[in-house]
Chain A
Amino acid sequence: MNKSFFTIIVLLSFFLSCQSEKKVDDKEKYLRWVGDIEPNDQLDKTEFIVCNGEDNIFQYFNLGEGPVYKGEKSKILNTFKSKYRPIPDKNQNGLIRIRFIINCEGKAGRFRILQSDYDYQEKEFEKEIVSQLLDITKGIENWEVLKRDNVPVDYYMYLIIKITDGQLAEILP
């Protein structure tokens, strides 16, 4: 009886410990927020810093102004149109998201790429397409400084570039 009782306790403890480990795993699979970008020495310029700490980075839409661009969106569109050299290829179709942080000085850093076809399935575009888009984005020196109570904040921004047959189709948001 005692032996059976002991066995049950051991099994129960084992089961419970698995459960709690699983919960810890669940918690650990997320960063502070969906879409957060952790610093990476291999990828990021060391001079880029956020001004108000990692826990105080907003999303672009948190400040209620919608997607805003220095010189409005038309400037961004013109920059991409003038600098991007199309790579004509019937297989180069889909969406490329470049997500990054804009700090309190309007400087951008921690650029990350996500790519999919038009059916939202992950894929890899020709490197030349992606590198051009990334370089053009990195080349935009000044972004809009967003403020909260007159204090400049850090925020996440992204561009989604739609590519059709290797050509620029649309830039969002």
Chain B
Amino acid sequence: MRYFNFLIVLFSFSSTFAQRNCEAYKYNRDTLKYEACKKAMEIKGYYQFSREYQSVLDESIEIDPTFDYAYWAKSIAYLKSGDFVTWKKLIDKAVELNPKEYLGYRGWCRYQFFRDYKGAIKDIEKLDSLVDYDIGQSQNGTYHLNIAKGLCFKAIGEKGKAIAILEKQINQNEEENIVGAYDYLHLGVLYLETENYEKAVEIFIKQSEINELAENQYYLAMTYLKIDNPVGYKSCLQKAKELYIEGRKMSDPYSNPLDKIFLEDIENEIKMAYNNS
């Protein structure tokens, strides 16, 4: 029974079974790929990390070594276990075989799991150069890939470029009514860091309206500190602490998002606020 429960938990977190339409290969008379695809679909029901899942995909690759999906599907467990060496070999193969499908994914993973900012920028820009359609969202749906690219530019010190990218993409997201859960927050932090306090306050308030977060109130507090608004500063810090304790904070199942703060940061700032007053 305990083992059964264990499996249920695992499958509830193995969400990336993206079905490939094998019939399309049959329609195009690519028999080998059709057979490889049919074999690969046998992974359904197996956990990504399991021996069975990996072995099925090996068999798929044996049938057709150019079947990109199998390399991608194999790579996931290595990515999540932090095995960057094996992951990179597998995902590189998938990208080599089908760049339009996997460049954005690889770029996102480089950022999300390994903070490989330059590698992520390179992949996302390469994808952008190859397609004439919108490059789309990150694998987890949190960001448009351009926002992720902007965050990478920030991380390598190119804040002006990051602001320009985020502003442009957020405008587009607003038009399409698909602003990301942390988009305004990241732009606000960039404004704060580049001493554009008025714009920072404006955009943190926008973030509050769509998705209030401890981080948002924390950075708003830091902005108020800069513009000499001690009442706003203290009040936002208290709100930040309450939100944090309620669990309304930035999160990601696999990593710590950029601009995330911790309870210790808020509490230290509160101590400073009251010691200095």
Contacts and interface: CB of A to CB of B under 8 A. Distances in A.
A binds B: yes
Interface stretch (A1-9, A32-40, A42-50, A84-92): A32-40
Interface string B85-102: 101110000000000000
Interface in A112-126: 114, 116, 118, 120-122
B253 A33 contact: no
Given A26-B59, A158-B81, A172-B115, A34 B49 contact: yes
B83 A34 contact: yes
B271 interface: no
Nearest to A35: B81
A105 B252 CA distance: 25
B81 A120 contact: no
Interface string A133-173: 00000000000000011000000101010100000001011
A30 B254 contact: no
A121 B84 CA distance: 9
B264 interface: yes
A72 B77 contact: no
A59 B115 contact: no
Interface in B241-274: 251-256, 262-265
Interface in B171-202: none
A162 B89 CA distance: 19
A64 B59 CA distance: 32
A30 B253 contact: no
A17 B256 CA distance: 50
Q: For the complex, would chain A's binding face be called helix, strand, loop or mixed by DSSP majority?
A: mixed
Contacts, number: 115
A35 B59 CA distance: 20
Interface string A20-62: 0001001100111111000000000000000010011011011
Contacts of A170: 115
Interface in B1-24: 2-3, 5-6, 9-10, 13
Given A172-B115, A173-B256, A61 B50 contact: no
**How big is chain B's contact interface, by range?**
35 or more
Contacts of A108: none
A74 interface: yes
Contact of A66 (B2, B116, B253): B253
Contacts of B51: 27, 30-33
**How big is chain A's contact interface, by range?**
35 or more
A70 interface: no
B125 interface: no
Contacts of B251: 66
The CB with the most chain A CB atoms within 10 A, among B51, B83, B116, is that of: B51
A115 to B, nearest CB: 9
B54 interface: yes
Contact of B264 (A74, A97, A162): A74
A59 B265 CA distance: 28
Contacts of B5: 148-149
B83 A33 contact: no
A118 B115 CA distance: 11
B50 A35 contact: no
Contacts of B49: 33-35, 59
B84 A160 contact: yes
B58 interface: yes
A62 B13 contact: yes
A21 to B, nearest CB: 14
The CB with the most chain A CB atoms within 10 A, among B2, B84, B252, B255, is that of: B84
B77 A33 contact: yes
5 contacts: A27-B55, A61-B80, A72-B262, A114-B83, A173-B113
Q: Which 8 A-B pairs have the closest CB atoms?
A: A35-B81, A120-B88, A33-B49, A34-B77, A30-B51, A173-B255, A158-B82, A72-B262
Given A35-B83, A75-B264, 4 more contacts: A32-B51, A97-B83, A170-B115, A172-B256
